[in-house]
Amino acid sequence: MTNEIVQDETGEITPYDVETETDSNILDEDLKERVRRLEESLASKDNELASLKGALANAVDKYRTAVLATDPGVPAELLKGETVEDIDDSLEQARRIVLQVRQQLDNDAAAKSIPAGAPPWKPSLSLTLKCGIVSSLPIPTL
């Protein structure tokens, strides 16, 4: 171990260990190497994460397509989401909307329909006479 006397920036004289300086350089190089390896590992993990996100998006899209195929009464526009859970949630909401619309349409149709067993409509005698009289009158020309 070689010791030298050096003066630092403040003017203070301190012993300087040459081997400590060399050890410090080796430590710096080791740290730089570790940082480089960690950065490479991080980049690799980032690539892996991007790949997994793409695979997830593809799987969710296939799941959405399968759900639409098994439940054709649900409009595709109502199924939204980036995860399977989102698709399931929007499917439940879409089913509720479809049910409400169907019930409303059924109620509207029932209100406009003639009840079963109602007698057929027959024109009254007075209406028939009025029609006959009106049809026998000459049509005024202008």
Residue 141 lies in a domain: no
- In the prediction, which pLDDT does 14 show? 57
Residue 61 lies in a domain: yes
Residue 11 lies in a domain: no
> 39 near 56, Cβ under 8 Å?
no
Tally of structural domains, the chain: 1
Question: What pLDDT, in 10s, does the model give residues 52-67?
Answer: 999 999 999 999 999 9
CB atoms within 10 A of CB 73: 10
**Residues paired with 16 in a beta bridge:** 4
Average pLDDT, the chain: 80
Residue 37 lies in a domain: yes
- The DSSP symbol for 83 reads S
Phi, psi (5° rounding) for residue 6?
A: -130, 160
Q: What proportion of the chain, given as a percentage, has pLDDT over 90?
A: 49
Q: How far apart are CA 7 and CA 37, in angstroms?
A: 37
Residue 43 lies in a domain: yes
More confident: 29 or 12: 29
Q: Residue 73 belongs to what domain range?
A: 17-110
- In the prediction, which pLDDT does 135 show? 62
- In the prediction, which pLDDT does 26 show? 78
Residue 82 lies in a domain: yes
